[in-house]
Amino acid sequence: MTENKKLRNEASGSGSNRGESVVGDVGRRRNSCGYCKSGGNSSISHGLWANSLTVDDYQALLDRGWRRSGCFLYKPEMERTCCPSYTIRLKADEFVPLKEHLRVSKKMQRFLDGTVDMTKKDMSVDERSTRKGSCSNMPMEGKCLATEKTSQINPGGQNEVEGCILHLSKQIDSAVLAFSQNVDLPCDIKLPKASVRIILPAKRKTLVQGSEDLLFSSNIAFQVAATLRHVQKDVQSADIIADKLAISVGQLVENSSLLVRSSRGHLNFYSPNNILLREAVERDVVSKKSHTGPVDKGICSNTLPGCTHNKRKKLEIELKRSTFDPEEFALYKRYQIKVHNDTPDKVTESSYSRFLVDTPLIFVPSKGDGVVPPCGFGSFHQQYRIDGKLVAVGVIDILPKCLSSKYLFWDPDLAFLSLGKYSALQEISWVKTNHLFCHSLEYYYLGYYIHSCSKMRYKASYSPSELLCPLRYEWVLFNIARPLLDKKSYVVLSDYASLPVEESSTANIPENHVEVKHSRNGDEDMNDIHIENDVDDDEEIDELDSEESDDDDSGYTDGSIANTLIGLRRSRLRYKDLEHAFGSTERRYLETQLRRYNKAVGSELSERMVYSVG
């Protein structure tokens, strides 16, 4: 193997064959702050332009405080910027929803059922919650009914039982879709939809001991096996398929009052601790017997719950690779003008593409080996449709350790649905589901948290979240960080990481309380600010380099620049093998650039990513 090929392999994500990261240094930039919008304040960040970027390298950059805007990568200079921005993340399996999160899910369900009260009171709740990115509970590219993560099933009547059955049907359909990713099926094969039937009391008495808690059952495994037999010779038995589906469905309904078991090819749902649900099922059976006779045929997932005089709406979600879509752009333009008060001439197709469509991330397809989720790694757009109408689009990156939310834009007429919060809950649930298929994927990254910005604070309500220390890049629980940030906007969080919450609130740090700053519209916002390296109000700030001079060298702790990987035309060389090719002036300038670059990305990435100089 030639030296050049060897260096290319080293640059391709530690031999993972996921491509090669090639970046150029844009330098430090100063631009007006997009968060506080206060006169005279400015945001200072380090910038890189990525021609290509592996998902492994971008994951590592996220864990050092970087974000991307299209192909432009930026990292705030925390000591100097007006609004210090801390990377915030949540381990999805540990998420504890608050009452406000449950209210958002219930309101969406009522809207889809056609029972939401469209009164002034409903419309006046803080509904325009803007946030970055979203993704459905969908383990593959394609369409499915939205699966809502309910904290519990609250029975009490006929509608609740039918709603419960619909919920279970949707979760089974999601599990079937996930199962199909490990089976080589022709693209034109249509998978069966799940039906869930009520187990009548008389039937329970004829079953084995303990079956008095059995409420629902589905024979979907037999239908899946029958479908597979049409296209494959060796087909798993319905028993085996049911066992696998039970594991997936059990994860999806783990917070409900139901237990899932497979038995002789059937998926059975038990409720040992919920007497109210059992009573509701009994009433439902009696009611339907009196009107339509015995109910033992089951209810398909397409059956619509709720009152018969209200039309049930259907929410569909589609996960797509990041591409330009005229329908998406039309919704984005309307959103920017009505929600963010942008002028029509400012919202162009080119600016939209640079911000939310263009991506340097190299797509990594799934091989069904538990390393990559079924949808793959890369940049995606998540479309939300209600009765076929596009109502929201989330822009996200799916990476080896996380789903990173970037932007969400939605129909301003549906602001009362709190689509920002609703899609965030969907993202968290998506991570939990896809952790089954990609074991390293377990975190939900919410972008930047700015404690001094009121509309950004609600990110911390997704608990227990962590903030990234801006100096040592260690994760610190938000409960530890909050009292420190109440006193000072920029804090080296790792200095206090080991303190109990009580002690962190009284930690001896200089008092520098920052007044809470408000956005231009005052709404909660989880979206990234549109940052580019070529906008008119950006200003490259070379004077900061002259201010540092020798101090920058003395503060440099990431190791020598000798092993920095340099891209020169099509060659890949270490700087130590290349430095003699430059004159003294050129070498001095390049070394200053490389020290700044290495300090920003770290020595490991500087030896792996290609630093382009021509």
Given a cut of 70, whether residue 136 has pLDDT beyond it is no
Are the C-beta atoms of 44 and 547 separated by less than 8 Å? no
- Going from the C-alpha of 571 to that of each of 2, 3, 514, 574, 613, the distances in angstroms are 11, 10, 49, 10, 11
Residue 313 tokens, joined: 């709406």
Are the C-beta atoms of 447 and 526 separated by less than 8 Å? yes
Given a cut of 90, whether residue 165 has pLDDT beyond it is no
Residue 160 tokens, joined: 């609740």
Domain residue limits, the chain: 3-84+530-612, 87-141+317-449, 143-300
- Going from the C-alpha of 455 to that of each of 414, 494, 527, the distances in angstroms are 19, 25, 10
If one compares 22 and 131, the residue with the highest pLDDT of the two is 22
- Going from the C-alpha of 511 to that of each of 489, 490, 506, the distances in angstroms are 10, 11, 11
Cβ within 8 Å of residue 56, ≥6 positions away: 13, 14, 16, 18, 400
**What percentage of the chain reaches a pLDDT higher than 90?**
42
Confidence of residue 196 (pLDDT cuts 50, 70, 90): confident
At 548 the pLDDT is 44
At 440 the pLDDT is 95
- In angstroms, the CA 513 to CA 242 distance is 58
At 141 the pLDDT is 37
Residue 63 tokens, joined: 């864990």
Average pLDDT, the chain: 78
At 12 the pLDDT is 54
Going 95 to 99 to 103 to 104, the CA torsion angle's sign is: negative
Strands (E), 389-439: 389-398, 402-410
Given a cut of 80, whether residue 32 has pLDDT beyond it is no
Domain 87-141+317-449 has CATH 3.40.630: yes
Cβ within 8 Å of residue 223, ≥6 positions away: 192
Residue 393 tokens, joined: 């689009």
If one compares 271 and 356, the residue with the highest pLDDT of the two is 356
Q: What's the rounded mean pLDDT across residues 382-407? A: 96
pLDDT in tens, 273-314: 666 666 666 666 555 555 444 333 332 233 323 333 457 899
Residue 96 tokens, joined: 């504890």
At 155 the pLDDT is 38
Most confident by average pLDDT, 42-56, 129-143, 165-179, 316-330: 316-330
Q: What's the rounded mean pLDDT across residues 185-201? A: 78
pLDDT in tens, 538-597: 455 544 443 444 444 433 334 579 999 999 888 999 999 988 888 889 899 999 999 999
The Cα diameter of the chain in Å comes to 95
Q: What angle do CA 393, 395, 399 make, to 5 degrees?
A: 145
Confidence of residue 531 (pLDDT cuts 50, 70, 90): low
Residue 52 per-residue DSSP state? E
At 164 the pLDDT is 82
At 119 the pLDDT is 43
At 384 the pLDDT is 96
Are the C-beta atoms of 59 and 87 separated by less than 8 Å? no
Strand partners, 142: 319
Q: What's the rounded mean pLDDT across residues 160-175? A: 83
DSSP H or E stretch at residue 288: helix 275-292
If one compares 356 and 118, the residue with the highest pLDDT of the two is 356
Confidence of residue 508 (pLDDT cuts 50, 70, 90): low
User: How many CB atoms are closer than 10 A to CB 5?
Assistant: 10
Strands (E), 22-155: 22-32, 42-52, 67-69, 72-76, 86-91, 130-131, 142-145
If one compares 54 and 301, the residue with the highest pLDDT of the two is 54
pLDDT in tens, 332-343: 999 999 999 999
Q: Which of 529, 468, 498 minimizes the C-alpha distance to 64?
A: 468
- In angstroms, the CA 305 to CA 153 distance is 14
Count, residues in the chain: 614
Q: Is 318 helix (H, G, I), strand (E, B) or coil?
A: strand
At 37 the pLDDT is 57
If one compares 516 and 67, the residue with the highest pLDDT of the two is 67
Residue 515 per-residue DSSP state? P
Q: What's the rounded mean pLDDT across residues 454-459? A: 84
Q: What angle do CA 248, 102, 140 make, to 5 degrees?
A: 35
At 124 the pLDDT is 38
Q: What CATH code is assigned to 143-300?
A: 3.30.1360.70
